[in-house]
Amino acid sequence: MSEDTATVGADGQGPRSTPHLPATPLLSRIHRPGDLHRLTSEEVEALAAEIRRYLVATVARTGGHLGPNLGVVELTLALHRTFRSPRDTIVFDTGHQAYVHKLLTGRQDFSRLRERGGVSGYPSRRESIHDVVENSHASTALSWADGIARANHLQGRDQRHIVAVIGDGALTGGMAWEALNNIADSADKHLVIVVNDNGRSYAPTIGGLAHHLDALRTNPGYERMLAGVKHTLLAQGAPGRAAFEALHGLKRGLKDILVPSAFFEDLGIKYTGPVDGHDETALEFALTRAREYAEPVIVHVITQKGRGYTPAEEDPADRFHAVGRIHPETGLPVVPSRFGWTAVVAKELLALARGDERIVGITAAMQQPVGLQPLADALPERVIDVGIAEQHALTCAAGMAFAGMHPVVALYATFLNRAFDQVLMDVGLHRAGVTILLDRAGITGTDGASHNGMWDMALLAHVPGLRLAAPRDEATLRQALAVAVGVDDAPTVVRYPKGSLPAPLPALRTVGEEDVPFGAVDVLLEAVGGPAAPTDGVAAAGPLLLVGVGAMAAASLDAGRRLAAEGIGVRVVSPRWPVPVPPALVEMARECRGVLVVEDGLVDGGVGSQLRDAVEDAALSDGVGTFPRVARLGVPRSFLPTASRDELLADFGMDLAGIWAAARRLAGCPARPGTGRSSAV
């Protein structure tokens, strides 16, 4: 890659100059993993340093998962020098630690990392035959590896190895232990489990297993100590031998405390380690021994997150787990973070908890990213980090609600999918007073397909009694939080997007006052306008109704203003709690010429679908043969490509131009040039 390369910015605003990148004479010679075998030990060490410099320079420019990848440079080199990908399968748990793997498998242009047309931030089968698991949800790699190993055995491919790299907190997830239980029951597999033990997930890893591994890190001389004691006692004759026999009887118990070999071998899985994860020779030796073993083996590797980059090493919060654009020399952000949705949640939740001793926060290894850190700092006994265990988090919350507390479970929206059964059967069925905060709801874009929080409204609408708020600005977010934690007989959900807050969107008036807060629908714009052509089969009465759900209210309001300027009668509304559909919204829809619902979630089964069904049901119940058409703009039922949020919104006709074009078509207005890309359904 030329040092004077210019690329288009993620915001599409034209070329963005690329700063001078460090020279990579060794890395540029690596086009496939096999090329690593031609390097000497000294060259491998130099290559590791090259890779770190390149990661810092490129990720600083684009943003991404920096700390985890700096920590696995030597480990990834050793994996590819020991095993033969793709003949041998390497599975990365979570996937955010696969940047080095990408560099070693022919993907060395990181100029558009995590951008449309560039290298994705997680493994991708479309990019390389060396990538296997694209899902970036944690604790799944061992199950994948077990399945691949079993299939290889059934098809006579017993000489192929499977390597599962798990760590960064993923062993706190219960699914990993379900897999270990099954792996231990089948000893005919060439399966190597690499535990990348850096003591952290986003923040320091929480839980009993984490403390167990911590104990090992502080006791690497256990076997040497035991051998020394044995030699000393046996040299002292009969009394010494008697003492040794007594101590030998304690060996098993002591080993359980100090060394996890017993911990894992009790499951029937061979254990080796700990291995210095930054010593290439030691790593290759341990992995070679594991490769030659004909049964499942755990290789315990100790790594340092953020290794080799001083700002990351000195960051106590998350060792630069994920960063935006930063100055590579200092690690400081290029553009300071603006006051965002998560910051409002953090401040408001702390204030609510100070006033209500029943409120307790629960997080799944993401205390800081979801805004619980201020509460944990001020009231540490009121925040529980369960590790990467969303299922446990929700059922634990149901138990706490039963016992008189009000748990607030804060998650990224995408991770709630893993605990839907618990929301339905433990929280919903038992009408538990649990509040769920869904950070990064809707389209997140650059984090890839599995990180988009687009499924929640369609999923959660199936839970009887559950109420979901979709605030549109800071004021409605604070209001929704206050209401949610006051509900003790049903689950409440508050969803909000990633990023900075919009300008305030005040209501002109509120409809549904008799059913406040859950039935409230805020009217943001009313423009009588002139007559517009009716849609098929609908009486020519009333304005268009634009329903902007949550974060889509701002663009819907802008589209409404543009329609009003053309003389088209329009009303723009924002339901505070769109799930279930407020009765007032149904009545407003029935009075309108046509309805367009814009939502930052799955269009099939989402709020628009629910409103359409409610309008039709109400009309049929009243014996009315006609009713307005309810058109919907939302995220299609597909796995989204890596792109920015704005790019994806434009693709789906959910930006200002797309909403305006869809509304004009709904009103029967003639199409204008350049407005045909919106796809309202």
Active site residues: 305, 390, 418
Residue 19: asked if its preceding bond is cis (omega within 30°), the reply is no
Task: Answer yes or no: are the C-beta atoms of 585 and 611 closer than 8 Å.
Answer: yes
Residue 188 has what DSSP assignment? S
Residue 149's nearest CA partner among 138, 160, 133, 165 is: 160
The DSSP bridge pattern shows strands 15-17 and 6-8 to be antiparallel
Residue 88's nearest CA partner among 161, 13, 26, 7 is: 161
Give φ, ψ of 388 to 5 degrees. Answer: -80, 75
Task: Answer yes or no: are the C-beta atoms of 467 and 580 closer than 8 Å.
Answer: yes
Q: What is the CA 456 to chain-centroid distance, rounded? A: 13
- What are the tokens at 102? 């990408």
Measured distance CA(633)–CA(564) in Å, rounded: 20
Rounded to the nearest 10°, the torsion over CA 423, 424, 429, 433 is 20
Q: Is 19 helix (H, G, I), strand (E, B) or coil?
A: coil
Residue 3's nearest CA partner among 26, 27, 21 is: 21
Burial 454-476 (b: 16+ CB within 10 A, else e): bbbbbbbbebeebbbbbbbbbeb
Detail the DSSP E strand segments found in 53-169.
Answer: 89-92, 162-167
Measured distance CA(43)–CA(49) in Å, rounded: 10
Measured distance CA(599)–CA(551) in Å, rounded: 8
Q: Is 252 helix (H, G, I), strand (E, B) or coil?
A: helix
Measured distance CA(275)–CA(286) in Å, rounded: 7
Give φ, ψ of 510 to 5 degrees. Answer: -125, 130
In angstroms and rounded to an integer, the radius of gyration of the C-alpha atoms of the chain is 28
Task: Answer yes or no: are the C-beta atoms of 588 and 571 closer than 8 Å.
Answer: yes
Residues sharing a CB contact under 8 Å with residue 253, sequence separation 6 or more, in sequence order: none
Measured distance CA(591)–CA(611) in Å, rounded: 14
Residue numbering of the annotated binding site for Mg(2+): 168, 198
- What are the tokens at 536? 């098929």
